[in-house]
Structure 1
Amino acid sequence: MLPTENRLRRREDFATAVRRGRRAGRPLLVVHMVKRADPYAAGGFGPPARAGFVVSKAVGGAVVRNLVKRRLRQLIRDRLGSLPPGSLVVVRALPGAGEAGHDPLARDLDTALQRLLGRAP
């Protein structure tokens, strides 16, 4: 489960990440990320990175969509430490994600995050 402080819940946060953030597309998913300009302006540690997920009916039925969301939540939870403080991340699953296993999803997520963070794959 993704910790409460790391979840995107408000529509405005999703819109900010999708409209103002950078995007990295992969065959199974698209990742949008926006970084805060200065997360340490208030002093101390910045706010935690937060993530949200968009899994439409094009991915599959309710059972398949929930499975994809659970897999993506687990993958993001393991990668929260590598995200900049205060960043907003939206992971949108594409139709092929419903048939994909854990490893292909992890590979696409890692590649997309590396591209957005400016690191070599």
Structure 2
Amino acid sequence: MKGSPIQSQPTIRRLTKRPQFLAAAKGVSLSRGAVFIQRLDRRDEDPAIGVGFTATRKIGGAVVRNRAKRRLREAARALVPLHGVAGSDYVLVARQGTADRPWDRLLDDVASALTRLATLGGADPSRSRAPVPISDLPTPQDR
């Protein structure tokens, strides 16, 4: 293996505190199949990747929620080191079909969402609340 540098795996840490989850909600987000993923670029010097998991009561009782989170944890364990961006926090949110989705399809959902979120940077433009400049609004004569 001459000439090829050894790639080290990024450090993965769990998000456990509510403020970490709320901060990630302010970043970019994407829904794919049975998973909804939020990504926050922390913009700090720490290259670790933070990962958190959540499932609401909307998807089912405790048994269903726990199964969905276990499946998301395993998918994240396999895919975040490959597709995650260093210095980011991710929150994987279980959706209605997460607990029952075939494993290969769930992995595809997570991988495609992580890949797409890696290309999106900064804030989500669709969530922008910036006002439209008055000069850009149509006038009554334009209608």
- Tell me the TM-score normalized by structure 2: 0.68
Q: Could you say what secondary structure the match of 2:59 adopts?
A: coil
Compute the displacement of 1:100 (Å).
Answer: 1.2
Q: What residue number does 1:10 align with?
A: 17
Q: How many residues align?
A: 108
The residue that corresponds to 2:99 in the other structure is 98
Q: Note the alpha carbon deviations across 1:12-69, whole angstroms, 9 max, x for none.
A: 11001012x1111112111000112242xxxxxx341011111112222222211111
Instruction: Say which structure, 1 or 2, has more relative contact order (CA 8 Å, 6+ apart).
Output: 1
Q: Does 1:34 align with 2:40?
A: yes
| Preserved CA contact (<8 Å) 1:23 1:30 | yes
Q: Whole-Å Cα distance in 2 between the matches of residues 102 and 66 of structure 1?
A: 16
Question: Residue 24 of structure 1 corresponds to which residue in structure 2?
Answer: 30
CA distance in 1, matches of 2:73, 2:51: 9
What stretches of structure 1 move > 3 A for 4+ residues in a row?
none
Residue pairs, 1:1-121, within 5 angstroms: 6-19=13-26, 21-39=27-45, 46-82=46-82, 83-118=84-119
Question: What SS does the corresponding residue of 1:6 show, helix, strand or coil?
Answer: strand
Aligned residue for 2:57, secondary structure, equals: coil
**Unaligned regions of 5+ residues in structure 2, if any?**
1-11, 121-143
Letter paired with 1:68: A
Calculate percent identity across the aligned residue pairs. Answer: 34
Q: Which amino acid aligns with 1:57?
A: R
In structure 1, runs of 5+ residues without a counterpart are 40-45
> Who wins on radius of gyration, i.e. which is larger?
2
Contact 1:60 1:98 in 2 (8 A): no
- SS of the equivalent of 1:84 reads coil
